[in-house]
Structure 1
Amino acid sequence: MKMGVLTFSVRLMFLILCIFINGSFSKLERLGHPVTKSDGSLDILVFGDWGRKGGFNQSLVAHQMGIVGEQLDIDFVISVGDNFYDDGLKGDTDPSFEASFSHIYTHPSLQKQWYSVLGNHDYRGNVSAQLSQVLTQKDWRWFCRRSFVLCSGMVEFFFVDTNPFVRKYFTDPEDHTYDWSNVLPRKKYISNLLRDLDLEIKKSRATWKFFVGHHGIKTAGQHGVTQELVDQLLPILEENKVDLYINGHDHCLQHIGSEGEIQFLTSGGGSKAWRGDIQPWDPKELKLYYDGQGFMSLHITHSEVKFVFYDISGNVLHQSTLSKKSKTFGLF
């Protein structure tokens, strides 16, 4: 009997070891956000490129977010990066955290959990500071990681650290210093991340699958498409029939997509905007391009997702629905 138990234990350990060696374990942190509405729906605000201590109309955007957040009774907020300008945080005691976050987003409706990824400006500071529990102790709403999976009811959000994909940050840093601690060697970091994302999304049984990153895959904005993401991340999205890819980086609001395909949504109007330029794009795909400040909301049910873009005055610029049954979308 003892020998049988021992043999089983050895076999189990060997199986686990084989799975580990073959890369079948994902290292991505998985979180759950409770669903509180009786119909199971979710309401979320999404924006990025904001942390300027209230300047460049950040405070005005925050005010409108509070109003819309109250109207929608939002469940949480997503930040798509560039949380603190110009060079991230110096440390977990940097007063910029309170000056750009806690003291700005004060509306009662915004006292919900915030889920954030890092932007390139965040990487110019102390990355570990933004990931620190010290900030969460200062303001319980704050949650930031490089990459993670958030599960909430019928939807799973795959938050992706897109910064290491961008080759020019390593080869032509434009006189900026980036904090690549815990990222190098770059190729191994990217390879492991892509593997983990692929493993996680393949085992997902969620009705909706959304990816959230800082850099754009399809964008008519100033920065243009991030070719490294087109080459390396987009195939995973397409193979696994992801519904939305949401990003910031370009300081504008955009909706690019075709019927039956992934919808690409840019919400990078959290503060400084009005770049004054737009890249050529197929007008059949470019449903919205707004060169200004604003934010986006998502209303998610089992059968459809409605996304709405707002300007700094709370005016609706564009709204669309994506239906799960046929994966078609309608414009309003």
Structure 2
Amino acid sequence: MAALFISNSFVLTCCLVILTSMLFSSYAELLRFQHPPKSPHGSLSFLVLGDWGRRGAFNQSLVALQMGRIGEKLDIDFVVSTGDNFYENGLKSEQDHAFQESFTKIYTAKSLQKQWYSVLGNHDYRGNAEAQLSPHLRNLDSRWLCLRSFIVDAELAEIFFVDTTPFVDVYFSDGEGHSYDWKGIPSRKSYIANLIKDLELALRESYAKWKIVIGHHAIRSIGHHGDTQELVDKLLPVLMANNVDFYMNGHDHCLEHISDTKSPIQFLTSGAGSKAWRGDLKELNREGLKFFYDGQGFMSVQLTQTEAEIAFYDVFGNILHRWTTTKLLYQSL
């Protein structure tokens, strides 16, 4: 009964929070969701997926199958989506059948029936961006939670979700030949300034053992899009100043791990949920590059008080790259 009570309360809280965020999404402080790890030992496990929603095409269904298998093996707590949730142009409305055809009917494994925390990508902004924020989608599938920017407090880790699309200049100039849904962002300058201020405050006040920031666009990447200079200029200094451990993103349709050369930050790209860009990369001899794969797949994250393990999987569930790091118990005190 206790578990049912928690679940129903969580759903009600999410609906109320989402309604509030839709009214004040541009200028409100970052909303916070509590997601304590189920393990009594304080361990945390989740999958990270990006750039996926294609009604099962481009191996999306095969990636989902392996996610279900790995999710069960790791007994995951939740799933993180790094954006570009629905191709090619987001959702048309909250009644768009693409939501169920690209999400509900694809990620059907028992282990994936957990909370999904999602941010918007640039393709999502090409449709009705606010449709993905709607509580109506939670009525269709209670796993879905997508907001512009928010925090998931999992005790052991705090995960800061950042809406990166408004940072990118080209979407406000020629738009690369596309139109974008900016009706929820009446003032880009104020929106970005407030987001940076709120993120900086939240990171500074965080006592979590692990600090993780999620965005759609890469800060460091050797893939098709490469570094996002606007994030290098405006977001990276905030991450470096506040001891962030991992920045995780999608956007480039690949799997990638780059270590920062000036801080302990690890840049992790998981944008290979469906269509991948074979052979489309900018450079291979980049300093700090630990791994790059130009096929479909996803990433797992396992955390304890003293250790983090990152693993990348291909469409067959094979581990392509595994990386671990340790922390002393007193480092976050």
Check whether TM > 0.5.
yes
Query: Hey, what's the Cα distance between the residues in 2 that align with 1:85 and 1:26?
Result: 28
1:261 to 260, 264, 268: 264
Partner residue, 1:240: 242
Partner residue, 1:159: 161
2:51 to 46, 49, 52: 49
Partner residue, 1:321: 324
Partner residue, 1:252: 254
Deviation (angstroms), 1:42? 0.7
Query: Hey, what's the Cα distance between the residues in 1 that align with 2:71 and 2:252?
Result: 23
Partner residue, 1:301: 304
Deviation (angstroms), 1:185? 1.3
Query: Hey, what's the Cα distance between the residues in 1 that align with 2:325 and 2:51?
Result: 26
Deviation (angstroms), 1:175? 2.2
Deviation (angstroms), 1:216? 0.2
Query: Hey, what's the Cα distance between the residues in 1 that align with 2:286 and 2:136?
Result: 46
Query: Hey, what's the Cα distance between the residues in 2 that align with 1:81 and 1:40?
Result: 28
Partner residue, 2:61: 59
Matched AA of 2:239: L
Match runs of 1:93-242 below 5 Å = 93-242=95-244
Query: Hey, what's the Cα distance between the residues in 2 that align with 1:182 and 1:321?
Result: 39
**Alpha carbons 2:130, 2:184 under 8 Å: kept:** no
Query: Hey, what's the Cα distance between the residues in 2 that align with 1:307 and 1:213?
Result: 17
Query: Hey, what's the Cα distance between the residues in 1 that align with 2:149 and 2:236?
Result: 16
Query: Hey, what's the Cα distance between the residues in 2 that align with 1:282 and 1:230?
Result: 20
For structure 2, the residue ranges without an aligned partner over 5 or more in a row are: 1-26
Cα deviation digits, residues 88-137 of structure 1 (max 9, x gap)? 00111000000000000000010000000000000001111100000000
Deviation (angstroms), 1:38? 1.8
Deviation (angstroms), 1:284? 4.3
Q: Aligned-residue CA RMSD in angstroms?
A: 1.6
Farther off after superposition, 33-42 or 246-255 = 33-42
Query: Hey, what's the Cα distance between the residues in 2 that align with 1:160 and 1:170?
Result: 18
Query: Hey, what's the Cα distance between the residues in 2 that align with 1:104 and 1:119?
Result: 20
Where 1:121 maps in the other structure, the secondary structure is helix
The number of aligned residues is 303
Deviation (angstroms), 1:174? 2.2
Where 1:174 maps in the other structure, the secondary structure is helix
Deviation (angstroms), 1:268? 0.4
For structure 1, the residue ranges without an aligned partner over 5 or more in a row are: 1-24, 327-332
Cα deviation digits, residues 220-263 of structure 1 (max 9, x gap)? 00001000000000000000010000000000000000586200
Larger Rg: 1
Query: Hey, what's the Cα distance between the residues in 2 that align with 1:43 and 1:158?
Result: 16
Farther off after superposition, 129-138 or 273-282 = 273-282
Q: TM-score, normalised by structure 2?
A: 0.89
Cα deviation digits, residues 280-321 of structure 1 (max 9, x gap)? 254541110000100000001011110000000000000001
Query: Hey, what's the Cα distance between the residues in 2 that align with 1:184 and 1:249?
Result: 24
Query: Hey, what's the Cα distance between the residues in 2 that align with 1:209 and 1:281?
Result: 28
Q: 1:229 to 1:62 in 2, by over 3 A?
A: same
**Alpha carbons 1:222, 1:275 under 8 Å: kept:** no
